């Protein structure tokens, strides 16, 4: 592994999570600042309530986001859900889905790298959260089809990707 030596540790003028906390307040989301480096936000989506954990990782200078929805994966569906995670991840340009094994919960994860003392912009913070919620909204039904309807990963993904046109 390459070891890069940087002479000085940079001081940041503010904590990057302060910006995200303001964004949560502006959107009237329920949030809790667990510590200087951890923020929990609840966001109501169209399909589910999303639990968003945002962490400042000072050692790598990155904001990490993890977004989970209320869908516990039973052990008997675990293999098929892992197949679906793989199929979904092939379609994503930003972030990825994981199955958090200790809780059997599907979550979306992504990070914003701010190396060299870079400060996040309002637009970057909003885009980070939007990417997480949009991905969860887009694929929630696919995971639900696999977990609750017993569909295969491919069937779940195909079912969730149907675009409806017009109104009934």
Number of domains in the chain: 1
Classify residue 7: in a domain, yes or no. no
* Both structure tokens of 124: 């970057």
5 pLDDT more than 60: no
Residue 95 sits in a domain whose CATH number is 3.30.1460.10
Per-residue model confidence (pLDDT) at position 7: 46
Mean pLDDT of the 120-135 span: 95
> Residue written as tokens 């169209």?
46
Q: Is residue 68 a part of any domain in this protein?
A: yes
Residues for the chain: how many in total? 168
pLDDT at 14: 78
Residue in this structure with the two tokens 């046109």, named with its chain if needed: 165
Residue 10 belongs to some domain of the structure = no
For residue 2, being part of any structural domain is answered with: no
Residue numbers of the domain that contains 68: 16-166
The distance of Cα 110 from the centroid of its chain, to the nearest Å, equals 6
* pLDDT beyond 80 at 3: no
In a domain, 37, yes or no: yes
5 assigned to some structural domain = no
| 68-117 residue pLDDT tens | 988 999 999 999 999 999 999 999 999 999 999 889 999 999 999 999 88
Within-domain flag for 8 = no
Strand intervals (E) in 14-95:
30-35, 38-44, 49-57, 62-72
Using a pLDDT cut of 70, give the percent of the chain over it.
88
Q: Residue 3 falls within a domain, yes or no?
A: no
Q: Could you give the residue ranges of the DSSP H alpha helices within the chain? A: 16-26, 78-89, 122-148, 153-160
pTM of the model: 0.86
Strand arrangement, sheet containing 49-57? 30-35, 38-44, 49-57, 62-72, 105-113, 96-100
Phi, psi angle pair for 86, to nearest 5°: -65, -45
Distance CA 40, CA 152 (A): 33
């Amino acid at each position: 592994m390459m070891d890069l030596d940087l002479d000085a540790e940079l001081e940041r003028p503010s904590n990057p999570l302060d910006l995200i906390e303001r964004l949560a307040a502006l959107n009237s989301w329920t949030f809790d600042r667990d510590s200087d480096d951890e923020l929990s936000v609840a966001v109501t989506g169209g399909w589910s309530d999303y639990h968003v954990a945002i962490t400042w990782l000072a050692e790598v200078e990155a904001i990490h986001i993890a977004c989970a929805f209320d869908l516990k994966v039973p052990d008997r569906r675990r293999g098929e859900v892992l197949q679906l995670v793989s199929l979904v991840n092939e379609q994503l340009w930003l972030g990825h889905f994981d199955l958090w094994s200790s809780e059997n919960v599907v979550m979306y994860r992504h990070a914003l790298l701010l190396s060299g003392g870079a400060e996040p912009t309002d637009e970057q913070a909003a885009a980070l959260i939007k990417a997480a919620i949009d991905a969860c909204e887009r694929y929630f039904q696919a995971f639900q089809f696999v977990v609750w309807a017993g569909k295969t990963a491919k069937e779940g993904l195909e079912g969730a990707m149907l675009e409806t046109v017009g109104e009934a």
